[in-house]
Each structure stands twice: as C-alpha cells, then as structure tokens.
C-alpha cells in the first residue's frame, strides 16, 4: 500500500474528495471523524542527525521520532517498518518477511539478515499441484496454502539484538500509537481496498477491519486498527516469542490451517499445513552480503535466498566495461536492458535457497563470468529472449548454448525503507507480504494480514529440461528479487543506500537507479524519479510512459527491441551521505502517491 498525495489536500479538496466517494459509513472501530491535517510529504530532505525515507509520511516520522530520542539507524528502521505495518497493511506487516542490510559505522562493515518466509516442514515440490497439474495462481494466492512462516518479527528481534540500542517495546511505541489513534485514508488506500473488496468480503475478520459496515473506507476519514495496536503492545511486553511460541502464534497457525471463510462465500479456500512446530523452528539467517566493485566503489547487496544481490551485482559487472557516462540515452538504455536480460537468464537457472540448492554465488559475481556474458551484447543488435544461462563454474566466452529458464511471476506490492543516523550507521530494508493484500486472510482479533509468499516458488519447473532451483521444499525459502543495496567508497564509508518494491522489477529498478546516479550523474532523487525500463529475460521489455512516449523508444526499436507499456515500475527510496557530512533522504515524487523523505535536523541546523 502506498500513501498518495491526497494526504495533503486542502479542506476544500478534502470536501470534494468526500463527495466523490459517497457518504461516510457509520462510526466503527476502523473509521471515524475527518482526520487532523496529515504529515506533509516531501521526496527529498537534507540535514544532520540522521535521515529516513519511506513511502509514507507517518512511517518516516516514526523513524525520525526514534532518532530524535537517541536511537540509532537500526532502531529507526524497525520503528518505520512497524508503522508501515499500520499504514501500508496491504504491502507489509508482521504476517510477512523481508531482507535487512546494515552498515556498521564503527567497524565499517556490512551485514545482512535473511528474514524470508519459509515453507512448512511438510512441503515438497508438489505443494501447488493437484492431480499432477498446478492449481490456478489466484487460488494459491487466496489460501492458507500460500502462507509461509512469517519472518518480519524475527528480523526485528535479530536486528535489535545485534545492533540496536532500544528495546522492541520502545521502537514499537510510535506504531502502536499510530494504530490506536489512526491515520488519514487517501484515495490510494481506498482504491487498493476496492481492488481487494471481493476477496476481503469472503473473510469476516478481514471484512470487519477493512470493510467496516460492508463499505469501503472513506477518503479523509481516520482509519484505526485497535487489534494491531494490542498486538504490538503484546510483542513489546512479551517479545517475539509471543508470535513464534505463544498464543499469538497459535492464533496464526489456526487461521492458516482452517481459514475463517464466510459460510455464505462461494470461494474455495485451500487450507495450509503450517504448524506450531514450524513457527518455533523459524530462524533468521545472518549472512555475508554480496559484494562487487563498480566505478571504484563497493556495492553490497542481499545474498541468496534473494536473487537481488547476485543479479544486480552481475549486471553491474557486465556494465563495468562500458563508459555509460558518455553513451547516448539510447545507448545507455540499450546496454542496461541487455545486461538485465543476461542477469535474469542466469538467475533463473542458478539462484534458489542455498540450504537446498548449490548456488554458485561467487561465480555469478565474478568479473570473469561477467566478461564472458558481456561479449554477447552488440551495439547494433538485440539479444533474443528467453536467453539461455551461462555457466559461472566454467565460463565460456559468448556462449549461447543451453536451455533457457523463463522468469516466474512475483507479486509487486512490497515496501522499502532506508535509514541513517548521526553516527554514520545505515540500513536498507525491504519487507513484504507479497501480493497486494497478501492472502487476504486476517488473523482474527490480531489486526494483520497473512502473506502469500510461497507463491514465489515455481509451481512446476519453468522448463522441464532445466533444473529449477525454485521448487518448493520442506522449510525452504522461496527465491526473491528483493535488492536492498548499500554502496561504500574505497575507505569503507557510506556513499548511498537504495532499494525498491516491485517483485522481479526490483532488480531492474535498483540497477537503473544506481547507474542513473553513479554513471549518468543524476541527483539521487532524480535517479529515483527517472522513467524506467525493465527487462527480465522476456520477449518484451516493459517501459513506463515517460520512455514509452519518448523518441528514445523508436531509436531502441530500430535496434530490434520490443516493448510493452507498464504504467508504474517500482517505488524506490534512498539515503546519501553528502560531502559536507549531511544526510540526504530521497523518495519518489510521483509513483504510488509519492514518498516521504525526512531528516532529524534540516540543513543549516545541527
């Protein structure tokens, strides 16, 4: 879910908006009187004392509040994430998971947490098969079958325990308050509720929360979530054991195993097989980041089970040999698109959960392998997709042999935040419940939606002739494209951090933002705002309207590129360390309603 510019409407515009969506529903636990003026949103801010950038002003403000009270970047990141669970409930929350990348200023090192959801111990490669055939994707999404063991709360606990300076209860306090007091409904929240209305209506707990009185929430009203406020308070008092070993977890397991469907509903909702033992056995993974050198900088990302770090890293290695700063716009985009195509071809064949698959991470990130793939790119021709993968264990220059593994679908409604503090620590954190609205199943009385992350697995091999590393397995993590990224200079000091939601388009969004800033010289906020292209080893490359309607499209089509239009790709945020010691926070200007960049002390104030 994304907060839109409607948060900043005047009283006149607010009145018009209320008229446009109909009369307000009767008072309920979720909606009430018109809101107080919402926190203003701005896509860029610079100053001292630390910075936070997210898609939502209330969430960014929660992180800034923690920084102002002496917390560090990790504390602020968890506070922001918890607030996003309130205001962005269709994209994130404790019913999901994510990936956390942290730069420690004292040791000048980068660390990561894999907080990806896991399949039940009972799962095998036939998880989504019935009578030997894959079930419909939509049926898998709206089911208990697609719910993985949540990792978000464990991620918060791991991060705070390793690097935080505040307790879980302290950093959850702003989000608990926000859930109790409510936030202002905007057109984006209403429209995304509307797009899920049929699903939500079939689950009484979900309908009671998001469709009070059977109606959509009204733009300009206050949306409250008292159940989530109580859940956060419980986590703050008891710790995350309440979810993984306590009554909260038992409620979650009961909901997955017997989804509470309206008896009058026609929808067939398959149960899942998640158990209390699965919850108790869940562990985050602290692991080394991916690392590549690019333009004299060190780029760190998320290692498998995410494919983000390996794919962004491989594409950067491929582009290293081309001076993109001197290329024409069409020449730059051509190289960017082709590098993305190649990286996705290799991702599809090689990347899965390394606890189950032999993932050649080192080989995928080697310059030798990248060079063997870069020679496929020609200035006057376009590679055809699906492109076959290379072999990072035995690179063969310009090899086109082998069988392609097409890219599988991933849901696009995730959320990303970045944070930095006065000591120089930095966090890039992407969290998700997968599809917009996740599984559509709310844990009764608990105030949060469950994920459908297991639908990120391949339901069946993408190509029967090629080993698919992303089939389900017991306790296995589905492959992700999440790409939180931190860039350091040669003295191991932070340059910038960036990330984005967007399913498989996350990889191309982060790659384009990095090259736009580092190669093309765009200010970070402009690199984030630039119109995007996304090629994922498919026959056609997706273009946003800004490129679709540009003369550059015809120039690229003359080379052989084929395009389809995508109205919106990604929604990035970032932070940057400026030469004078200030932090700059940057977010979207337009996409998904625009983002919110904040600093503790604006420029000129310490």
Asked if 591 contacts 531 with a C-beta cutoff of 8 angstroms, the reply is no
Please tell me the distance from the alpha carbon of residue 580 to that of residue 476, in angstroms, as a whole number. Answer: 45
What are 546's two structure tokens?
A: 């800004």
Residues recognised as catalytic: 414
Please tell me the distance from the alpha carbon of residue 59 to that of residue 250, in angstroms, as a whole number. Answer: 29
Of the candidates 117, 69, 73, 123, the one whose C-alpha atom is nearest the C-alpha of residue 97 is 117
Please tell me the distance from the alpha carbon of residue 55 to that of residue 82, in angstroms, as a whole number. Answer: 13
3-class DSSP state of 279: helix
Please tell me the distance from the alpha carbon of residue 451 to that of residue 148, in angstroms, as a whole number. Answer: 7
Asked if 99 contacts 480 with a C-beta cutoff of 8 angstroms, the reply is yes
Q: Phi first, then psi: what are they for 315, rounded to 5°?
A: -65, -40
Please tell me the distance from the alpha carbon of residue 294 to that of residue 606, in angstroms, as a whole number. Answer: 33
Torsion of CA 505, 510, 515, 516, to 10 degrees: 90
Q: Phi first, then psi: what are they for 183, rounded to 5°?
A: -130, 165
Of the candidates 59, 123, 52, the one whose C-alpha atom is nearest the C-alpha of residue 91 is 59
H/E element, 293: strand 290-294
Which residue carries 């490129």 as its tokens? 547
Q: What DSSP string runs through 541-574?
A: EEE-HHHHTSHHHHHHHHHT--EEE-S-----EE
Q: What DSSP string runs through 193-244?
A: HHHTHHHHHTSHHHHHHHSGGGSPPPTTEEE--HHHHHHHHHHHHH-THHHH
CB burial class (10 A; 0-12, 13-18, 19+) of residue 374?
A: buried
Asked if 348 contacts 389 with a C-beta cutoff of 8 angstroms, the reply is yes
Of the candidates 504, 503, 524, the one whose C-alpha atom is nearest the C-alpha of residue 513 is 524
Please tell me the distance from the alpha carbon of residue 436 to that of residue 501, in angstroms, as a whole number. Answer: 12
Asked if 449 contacts 90 with a C-beta cutoff of 8 angstroms, the reply is yes
Verify cis geometry, omega within 30 degrees of 0, for the bond prior to 386. Answer: yes
Please tell me the distance from the alpha carbon of residue 460 to that of residue 478, in angstroms, as a whole number. Answer: 13
Please tell me the distance from the alpha carbon of residue 390 to that of residue 386, in angstroms, as a whole number. Answer: 13
Asked if 548 contacts 563 with a C-beta cutoff of 8 angstroms, the reply is yes
CA end-to-end span of the chain, whole Å?
Answer: 34
């Amino acid at each position: 879910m994304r907060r839109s510019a409607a948060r900043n409407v005047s009283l006149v515009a607010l009145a018009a908006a209320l008229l446009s969506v109909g009369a307000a529903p009767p008072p309920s636990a979720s909606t009430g009187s018109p809101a107080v003026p919402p926190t203003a949103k701005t896509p860029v801010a610079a100053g001292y004392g630390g910075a936070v950038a997210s898609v939502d002003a209330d969430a960014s403000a929660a992180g800034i509040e923690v920084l102002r009270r002496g917390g560090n970047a990790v504390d602020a990141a968890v506070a922001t994430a918890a607030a996003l669970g309130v205001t962005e409930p269709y994209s994130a929350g404790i019913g999901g998971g994510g990936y956390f990348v942290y730069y420690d200023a004292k040791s000048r090192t980068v660390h990561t947490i894999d907080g990806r959801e896991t399949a039940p111990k009972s799962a095998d490669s036939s998880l989504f098969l019935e009578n030997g055939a894959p079930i419909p994707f939509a049926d898998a999404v709206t089911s208990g079958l697609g719910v993985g063991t949540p990792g978000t709360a464990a991620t918060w606990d791991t991060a705070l325990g390793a690097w935080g300076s505040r307790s879980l209860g302290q950093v959850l306090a702003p989000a608990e308050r926000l859930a109790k007091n409510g936030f202002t409904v905007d057109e984006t929240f209403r429209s995304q509720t509307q797009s899920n209305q049929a699903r939500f209506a079939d689950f009484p707990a979900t309908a009671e929360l998001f469709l009070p009185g059977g109606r959509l929430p009204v733009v300009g009203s206050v949306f409250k979530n008292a159940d989530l406020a109580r859940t956060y308070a419980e986590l703050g008092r008891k710790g995350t054991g309440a979810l993984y070993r306590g009554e909260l977890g038992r409620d979650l397991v009961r909901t997955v195993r017997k989804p509470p469907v309206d008896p009058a509903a026609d929808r067939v909702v398959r149960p899942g097989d998640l158990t209390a033992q699965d919850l108790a056995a869940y562990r985050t993974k602290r692991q080394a980041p991916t690392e590549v050198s690019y333009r004299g900088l060190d780029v760190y990302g998320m290692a498998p089970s995410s494919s983000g770090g390996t794919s962004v890293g491989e594409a950067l290695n491929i582009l290293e040999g081309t001076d993109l700063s001197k290329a024409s716009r069409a020449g730059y985009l051509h190289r960017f698109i082709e590098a993305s195509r190649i990286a996705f071809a290799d991702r599809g064949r090689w990347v899965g959960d390394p606890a189950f698959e032999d993932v050649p991470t080192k080989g995928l990130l080697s310059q030798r392998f990248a060079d063997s793939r870069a020679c496929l790119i020609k200035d006057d021709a376009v590679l055809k997709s699906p492109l076959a993968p290379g072999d990072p264990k035995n690179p063969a220059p310009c090899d086109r042999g082998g069988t392609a593994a097409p890219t599988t679908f991933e849901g696009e409604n995730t959320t990303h935040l970045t944070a930095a503090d006065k000591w120089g620590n930095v966090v890039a954190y992407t969290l998700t419940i997968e599809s917009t609205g996740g599984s559509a199943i709310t844990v009764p009385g608990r105030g949060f939606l469950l994920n459908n992350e297991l639908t990120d697995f391949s339901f069946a091999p993408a190509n029967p002739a090629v080993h698919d590393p992303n089939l389900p397995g017991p306790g296995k993590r589905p492959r992700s494209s999440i790409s939180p990224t931190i860039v350091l200079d040669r003295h191991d000091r932070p340059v910038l951090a960036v990330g984005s939601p967007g399913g498989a388009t996350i990889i191309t969004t982060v790659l384009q933002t990095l090259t736009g800033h580092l190669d093309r010289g765009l200010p970070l906020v402009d690199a984030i705002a630039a119109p995007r292209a996304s090629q994922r080893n498919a026959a056609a490359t997706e273009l946003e309207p800004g490129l679709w309607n540009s003369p550059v499209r015809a120039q690229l089509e003359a080379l052989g590129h084929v395009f389809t239009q995508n109205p919106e790709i990604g929604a990035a945020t970032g932070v940057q360390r400026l030469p004078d010691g200030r932090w700059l926070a940057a977010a979207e200007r337009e996409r998904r309603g625009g983002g919110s960049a904040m600093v503790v002390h604006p420029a000129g104030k310490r």
